[in-house]
Structure 1
Amino acid sequence: MAVCEILCVGTELLLGDILNTNARFLSKELALMGISVLRQTTVGDNMQRLCAAFNEAASRSDIVIACGGLGPTADDITKEALAQVLGLRLQKHEPTARAIEQYFQRRGVPMPRTNLKQALVPEGADVFENRNGSAPGIGVKDAGKTYVLLPGPPRELEPMFRDRVSAYLASYSDCVIISHAVKTFGIGESLMAEKVADLLELENPTVAPYAKDAEAYLRVTARAASRQEAERLCAPVIHEIRRRLGSKVYGVDTENLQRRVVELLQTKGLKVAFAESCTGGYAAKRITDIPGSSAVFECGIVAYANAVKSRLLGVKPGTLKRFGAVSTQTAVEMAQGVLRISEADIGVGITGIAGPQSDTGGKPAGLCCIALAAKGAAARVETIETGRANDREYNRFAASSKAMDMIRLYLEAAE
């Protein structure tokens, strides 16, 4: 199996100013091609260190992919570094130069001469047209090694890799690797792993447990000569995982819980409305992050103060006085209230203590009550206690995730 190393170039990456999503994207795409990524290196805009990184990567890899540093400014030196390492001259690539000049002509603005720096490529290089920017990608084959230089912006890098570079690297691919993520909610990583312990010992496909905030998932990965064969290997294992974990599984390769909820609401032609306190609109925000959510999202009300809970949502003052704002009773009346005042089919109420302070009644931070009310059905209510008193962001996320899962389970039960 061919080995690849990814070099991510840019001092801004080392400073933490930019989140490096390119390494993740490239690693996943290369894995699907059966090319192993054994190292990812981040290096700043320094000629000496970048040249050293190229030399080190080439000494242990068949393929070196560098992303970033192809722009027109003085600190964009990735091409220059590779040319120096390989002893190649940079020469003007006329089609790229013309494309850059035409871009500025169309905009009706003068072109800074420095932009033509992007048209310089190492002699003998293959050039990959950039249809989403001005810096082309570059491929160089030298002494049995393959070097690929890609622009840094993901909106340029990702289509260029899929459209051009994957074919350029096809000769290195002797197998296909397929991976699927079985996503769960409401079960911890350790219990999930315990329920599938024997499957974790498989060699092809492999099964590996992972945890993320308020969720856990199992990654099933198969290697075969063709995609069809790899999928055939994965299918029975995924089926068995779903059988063992039951309703804890909310999807396979589903992006997230809110995506699943929006899909279910769209399928059933239903709308949801939220009444939120401690989450401050977090649940509504997650739903509206999904394209197409306007068809299924009715409204969101953030009712922090008790007076607003009563005035807008109809929560009884007696309920607040007897049980408190953070109670299952208040959550139910919030859910019923937002259902009543909207045209939604499902109303969700969320109330809790995000932290870090507990409330005056001694209820702990991290305690949240979530209720679901639906037309023609009895209200459902659940309580979670995260145990993370000092993690306000996590508590808000966990409460909104629980709300998503309650909606999911309600809709799936109706199928």
Structure 2
Amino acid sequence: MRAEIIAVGTELLMGQIVNTNAQYISRGLADIGVGVYFQTVVGDNVQRMKESLRIAKGRADVIICTGGLGPTQDDLTKDVLAETVGQRLVMHAPSMDKIEQMFQARGVPMVESNARQALMLEHSEPLANDTGLAVGVALTHEGTHYVLLPGPPKEMKPMFDRYAKPWIVSRMESVQPLYSVMLKFAGIGESQLEHALIDLIEAQGDTTIAPYAKEGEVAIRLTTRAVSEAEAQTKLQPLEADIRRRVGEYVYAAEDIALEEAVLRRLADQGRTLAVAESCTGGLLSDLLTNIPGSSAAFAGGIICYTNRVKHGLLNVPMEQLEGVEAPGAISEETARMLAEQVLALTGADYGVSVTGVAGPGESEGKPVGLVYVGVAARDGETTVKQLQQFGNRETIKLRSAKSALYHLWKRLNS
């Protein structure tokens, strides 16, 4: 079964909100074996909405629309679909009762336009809205299945999960879900990873290999269709084993988690703690770590030692090492080493990680943009320093440097 998602709303086209609904629905449809072939965004315009429905009908078995079910005059999705399929809009009494009771409970008069949220197509099935007022719609017309969902995610998600997905499954001749394994990589670029796996990617068939990249990390999703999870594992495991044999040293997780979460988990498993000293990343590394719930179990804290005065005053790096014609400088292996060791000693953590470098846009200390040093000090081991040459703008260099620091710590934790 092929699906198309049509997100309705001029605010989406203007960039005022992000279309997270399409991502959520696509994942949910994949779970039941429905492939999303197209995603469309259309504004609150009758003619363009009609054209989007017409095009979708020619290439999809199920069309899922989100948005445009509210009480205002620009909430047109039900009206447009009713006109498209030649059906009247009728009142769904339970939804109307719910709306009236809500206004009564608030002690305010109901504006007449709110009744629009209780409308449905005359030959459709209602999809209950457990967290809002606008009733959803499920309809099969001339062999095409239509599902209308509200736009707000807090309303759309429960309606889709509890009612729309089961309705779609009931219309499917056979259910063969998609099963996936996500492998997460760090310390290797997307092009390098693809080069190592190019023969597998070119030979893929029923089991697909899809790479995804973002700054500092790469993911490979292995996907296959199967009647059961056991059958899927039989198909996926040999391919996963081959990938691990080739590039396993860069795999930090077999699930869709960020590198910082994998590092914190490993630290917690080992009963170890981490402290960081950040110069060029300006607190970004600490921010990544503390965005993970429960990070306090392993993250002791950090120091943003952006200036030489702070490097010297708080972390005891000698000024003669930081400044002077013959000095190594703040951006050096020597300083990265001391920062990592000093933050470890200051906080009593088990590991100290430092990042110092040139984020740009101009050189610093006569050193090129993107030159970064990452130090990793261990209470029960030696200190190592890695020299990196990052590329990109200031924001990119900061993020890549923070991720590189996490990767080198992760390698240390697994050595």
User: Is TM > 0.5 for Structure 1 vs Structure 2?
Assistant: yes
Task: Give 3-state SS (helix, strand or coil) of 1:357's partner.
Answer: coil
- 1:355 and 1:4 map into 2 onto residues whose CA distance is 45
Q: CA deviation at 1:44?
A: 0.1
Structure 1 segment 23-172 matched on structure 2, within 5 A: 23-106=22-105, 111-170=110-169, 171-172=171-172
Q: Percent identity?
A: 42
Structure 2: unaligned runs, 5 residues or longer: none
- 1:411 and 1:135 map into 2 onto residues whose CA distance is 51
Structure 1: unaligned runs, 5 residues or longer: none
Task: Give 3-state SS (helix, strand or coil) of 2:306's partner.
Answer: coil
- 1:353 and 1:34 map into 2 onto residues whose CA distance is 48
- 2:277 and 2:111 map into 1 onto residues whose CA distance is 53
Change (3 A) 1:192 1:119: same
Please tell me whether residue 263 in structure 1 is matched to residue 268 in structure 2: no
Q: For residue 234 of structure 1, what is the aligned residue in structure 2?
A: 236
- 2:19 and 2:74 map into 1 onto residues whose CA distance is 18
- 1:337 and 1:368 map into 2 onto residues whose CA distance is 19
Q: For residue 369 of structure 2, what is the aligned residue in structure 1?
A: 365
Mean CA deviation greater in 128-137 or 278-287: 128-137
Q: CA deviation at 1:46?
A: 0.6
Question: In structure 1, which of residues 333, 336, 344 is the aligned counterpart of residue 338 of structure 2?
Answer: 333
Q: Compute the TM-score of the two structures, normalised by the length of structure 2.
A: 0.93
Q: CA deviation at 1:405?
A: 1.0
- 1:261 and 1:110 map into 2 onto residues whose CA distance is 55
* 1:251-308 C-alpha deviation (Å, 9 max, x unpaired): 1223211121122122223222221111111111111111111222221221111001
* 1:213-256 C-alpha deviation (Å, 9 max, x unpaired): 23323221112233331232112211221122122111122321
Residue identity in the other structure for 1:385: Q
Q: Is the 8 A contact 1:204 1:233 kept in 2?
A: no
Task: Give 3-state SS (helix, strand or coil) of 1:307's partner.
Answer: helix
Please tell me whether residue 299 in structure 1 is matched to residue 301 in structure 2: yes
Change (3 A) 1:387 1:112: same
Mean CA deviation greater in 101-110 or 44-53: 101-110
Q: How many residues align?
A: 409
- 1:381 and 1:175 map into 2 onto residues whose CA distance is 50
- 2:315 and 2:197 map into 1 onto residues whose CA distance is 44
Q: Which consecutive aligned stretches of 4+ in structure 1 deviate over 4 angstroms post-superposition? A: 104-111
- 1:106 and 1:376 map into 2 onto residues whose CA distance is 64
Task: Give 3-state SS (helix, strand or coil) of 1:197's partner.
Answer: helix
- 1:12 and 1:135 map into 2 onto residues whose CA distance is 19
Q: Is the 8 A contact 1:90 1:123 kept in 2?
A: yes
- 2:154 and 2:332 map into 1 onto residues whose CA distance is 46
Q: Is the 8 A contact 1:67 1:150 kept in 2?
A: yes
- 1:133 and 1:402 map into 2 onto residues whose CA distance is 44
Q: Compute the TM-score of the two structures, normalised by the length of structure 1.
A: 0.93
Task: Give 3-state SS (helix, strand or coil) of 2:58's partner.
Answer: helix
- 1:409 and 1:102 map into 2 onto residues whose CA distance is 59
Q: Is the 8 A contact 1:222 1:231 kept in 2?
A: no
Question: In structure 1, which of residues 317, 340, 345 is the aligned counterpart of residue 350 of structure 2?
Answer: 345
Q: Is the 8 A contact 1:176 1:227 kept in 2?
A: no
Q: CA deviation at 1:65?
A: 0.4
